[in-house]
Amino acid sequence: MSTKFSVIIPARNEERVIGRCLESIRLAAEAYRGEVETIVVLNRCSDRTEEIARGFGAVTIREDARSLARIRNAGARCAAGSMLVTIDADSTMTPRTLAAIDRALSTGRTVGGGTLVFPERLSAGIVATFLVMLPVVLLNPVTGGLFWCRREDFAAIGGFNEDLVSGEDYDFALRLKTYGKSVGRPFSTLRGGHIVTSCRKFDEFGDWHLVRNPLLLWRLATGGDGRAADAYYYDVER
């Protein structure tokens, strides 16, 4: 039986959360036995992430670059599936997510897209952060969190932009949307599946930290500030 889905997960010292992510994929894959591979891309791991991933039957590879774009692309390069899905280790998908992706891509009417993202908790600071980000989202409306598309469309846009050290996910969504428009298959928000993601950045830095530091949000979004990306993503202790 051929591989239909390749689910790619970047992971740096994720032993506390990756089990929940992998279990959610296992449940979503029950309708596709033998057709789903999970690829965990280990990034400078020194904990039990690899052991846990292998316990779930995941393929593990290594990419130690301080670049989420390079980490995600490394997983895509070794993927066997005709449909590529990316999700972060601190997120979980719903049991119907893969079926929803299959249904959407099988119509031939969409290039792929993102999904709705729900935080694991809410607070005034988290809601305020979303409101601060809302004008950008409304100006260039795309969804993210979990990206899905066919392998050939991923290749057509060159995957994730490795010139960016942050903001690679938003950039990917915008380029996939532009490409989809050019080929008459628009970017979509997944129907019938969503993800729940952790609020660990708010736990680590405080619920109001991005509202109080809008310049940091800008530095991360533009993707070229290595010092900001290191401090926020790549050097955070886990």
Query: What average pLDDT does range 115-123 have in this prediction?
Result: 97
- Cβ neighbours around 210 below 10 Å, total: 22
Is the separation of the CB atoms in 76 and 3 below 8 Å? no
Residue 61 has pLDDT above 80, yes or no: yes
- CATH number belonging to the domain at 5-117+143-197, selected among 3.30.565.10, 3.40.50.10320, 3.90.550.10, 3.40.50.300: 3.90.550.10
Name the nearest CA neighbour of 36 among 45, 46, 26, 49. 26
Rounded CA-CA distance 221/170 in Å is 8
**Over the chain, what is the mean pLDDT?**
96
Amino acid of residue 208: W
- Enter the pTM of the model: 0.96
- Please write the tens of the pLDDT for every residue from 163-189: 999 999 999 999 999 999 999 999 999
- pLDDT on residue 71: 98
Of 149, 139, 136, the residue nearest 210 (C-alpha): 136
Contact criterion met (CB below 8 Å) for 185 and 157: no
pLDDT tens digits, residue range 16-60? 999 999 999 999 999 999 999 999 999 999 999 999 999 999 999
Which whole number is the average pLDDT over 75-87?
98
> What is the model's pLDDT at position 136?
77
- Inform me whether the pLDDT recorded for 197 exceeds 90: yes
